[in-house]
């Protein structure tokens, strides 16, 4: 995620402080600041229809509204809200037996086609079902970090705080996820540039 400027951070902190005092209009401002980010994160995480993602986003903001008084440091709001969103996604996915994972086209741009296999090559170079299959086969703890890093551009430090695990663990799991992704693509005749 992009670094926030000190001005934006102080505006956010002011809005959070007003929300903690029960100001509904300021909660709407907080929703305006984070709604799209959380929706995109959830949609990339669960990869189902947008309506399901919107439902989970709403559940996330309901939890934020109910728990914002417990937040002691406004500077940690971003990690806190992403933690809540991540937990909502995990709970939802645990309830699903076979959930689809569809990655967005940014990942496709990093894949170089070395195959003439028509079953895996589409007009864009890679069949989305292949990408889907590879990502969905990753163990949950690797897939989670892979999605946060590759599709939400989260910093390793932020992922570490969100998932409450060490920075070293996050980097190790990301490396394993990339290795797994690369090996699976190579089996199909593609190269992945991480």
CA–CA separation, 192 and 184 (whole Å): 10
Q: Is the torsion defined by CA of 107, 1, 157, 88 positive or negative?
A: negative
85 and 110 fall within a common domain: no
**What is the predicted pLDDT for the residue at 6?**
54
Spatial contact of 115 and 188, defined as CB atoms under 8 Å apart = yes
81: domain CATH number? 1.10.1740.10
The answer to whether position 170 is within a domain reads: yes
90 and 136 fall within a common domain: no
Q: Single out the residue in 32, 64, 95 at which a domain terminates.
A: 95
23 and 52 fall within a common domain: yes
Local confidence pLDDT in tens for the 194 residues of the chain: 444 455 566 777 888 888 888 878 888 888 988 899 899 888 877 877 889 999 999 999 999 999 998 888 888 888 899 889 988 988 888 787 544 444 444 555 455 444 444 444 443 455 667 776 787 788 878 888 887 787 667 889 988 888 888 999 999 999 999 999 888 888 877 766 65
The answer to whether position 22 is within a domain reads: yes
115 and 85 fall within a common domain: no
75 and 148 fall within a common domain: no
Strand partners, 111: 192
Q: Single out the residue in 77, 95, 113 at which a domain terminates.
A: 95
Q: Single out the residue in 95, 129, 163 at which a domain terminates.
A: 95
123 and 68 fall within a common domain: no
132 and 64 fall within a common domain: no
Spatial contact of 76 and 158, defined as CB atoms under 8 Å apart = no
When computed from its CA atoms, the radius of gyration of the chain, rounded to whole angstroms, is: 18
Q: Which two tokens stand for residue 41?
A: 């994160």
**What is the predicted pLDDT for the residue at 59?**
96
90 and 10 fall within a common domain: yes
90 and 38 fall within a common domain: yes
Give the length of the chain.
194
Overall number of domains in the chain: 2
Strand partners, 113: 190
The CA-atom distances, in angstroms, between 38 and each of 116, 135, 147, 152, 188 are 38, 21, 13, 10, 33
CA–CA separation, 10 and 46 (whole Å): 32
**What is the predicted pLDDT for the residue at 61?**
94
The answer to whether position 100 is within a domain reads: no
Domain that residue 90 falls in: 6-95
90 and 113 fall within a common domain: no
**What is the predicted pLDDT for the residue at 8?**
62
**What is the predicted pLDDT for the residue at 167?**
93
Output the pTM of the full model. 0.60
The answer to whether position 166 is within a domain reads: yes
Spatial contact of 120 and 95, defined as CB atoms under 8 Å apart = no
């Amino acid at each position: 995620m992009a670094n926030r400027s000190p001005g934006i951070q102080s505006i956010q902190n002011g809005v959070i402080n007003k929300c903690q005092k029960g100001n509904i209009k300021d909660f709407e401002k907080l929703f305006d600041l984070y709604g799209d980010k959380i929706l995109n994160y959830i949609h990339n995480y669960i990869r189902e229809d947008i309506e399901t993602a919107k439902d989970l986003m709403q559940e996330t903001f309901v939890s934020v509204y109910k728990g914002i008084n417990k937040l002691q440091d406004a500077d940690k709001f971003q990690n806190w809200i992403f933690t809540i969103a991540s937990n909502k996604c995990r709970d939802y996915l645990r309830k699903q037996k076979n959930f689809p994972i569809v990655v967005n086209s940014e990942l496709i741009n990093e894949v170089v086609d070395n195959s003439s296999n028509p079953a895996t090559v589409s007009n864009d170079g890679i069949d989305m079902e292949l990408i889907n299959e590879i990502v969905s086969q990753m163990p949950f703890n690797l897939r989670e970090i892979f999605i946060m890093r590759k599709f939400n551009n989260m910093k390793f430090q932020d992922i570490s705080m969100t998932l409450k695990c060490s920075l070293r663990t996050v980097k190790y799991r990301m490396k394993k996820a990339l290795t797994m992704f690369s090996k699976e693509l190579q089996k199909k005749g593609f190269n992945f540039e991480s």
